[in-house]
Amino acid sequence: MDYLYVKSLHIIFITTWFAGLFYIIRLFIYFKEAEEKESPAKEILQKQYQLMIKRLWYIITWPSAVLATLFAIWLLVINPEWLYFGWMQIKLAFVLLLFIYHGICQLMYNQTQKGFLKYSSFGLRIWNEVATIILFACTFLVVLKSSIGWIFGVVGIVGVSVLLMLGIKLYKNLRKKNSWDQPE
């Protein structure tokens, strides 16, 4: 298969893998927040979230992770000299972090399927930012092909993440104060 087709497929499956990782955390947050609901809403919501989580995890996220990895290996077989570049070595370190992140999400998935999740919704929101940082770092490394250039991108996203977390905290406080999500 032509290099550009393999590269395109790798990019497509990286995109769907990250989409799955971003959305799975959102579903974990909804699952966790459903614990605060009264019966029978709590049980109905958690059962629905368990189904949505299971479908997302095994129909989109895991297959995308496997296919992105296979196409990445194929790209390295086509261009083995990339392994000698510093930017690629750093990118592969971030990819290892992504696999660890995915593995921790698997543990969270396992918990939800057993009917509980030991993480807070705020902690999950922060956890979601880890995938964003990995995505930014890998993208800057691949596009800039510089071992240093990725630092500026990651520092920028960390700054944006801090602002987002402050915004989330502010929203949480306003929501509690005004009870925006309570029916009248």
The 8 Å CB, 24+ separation contacts for 68-74 are 68/10, 68/13, 68/14, 68/16, 68/17, 71/6, 71/7, 71/9, 71/10, 71/13, 72/10, 74/1, 74/6, 74/10
d(CA 167, CA 147): 32
Can you give the pLDDT of all 184 residues of the chain as single tens digits? 799 999 999 999 999 999 999 999 999 999 999 999 999 999 999 999 999 999 999 999 999 999 999 999 999 999 999 999 988 999 999 999 999 999 999 999 999 999 999 999 989 988 998 998 899 888 888 888 876 666 776 677 678 778 877 887 888 788 777 765 555 5
d(CA 115, CA 73) in angstroms, rounded, equals 37
Domain ranges of the chain: 3-178
For residue 49, give both structure tokens.
């979230």
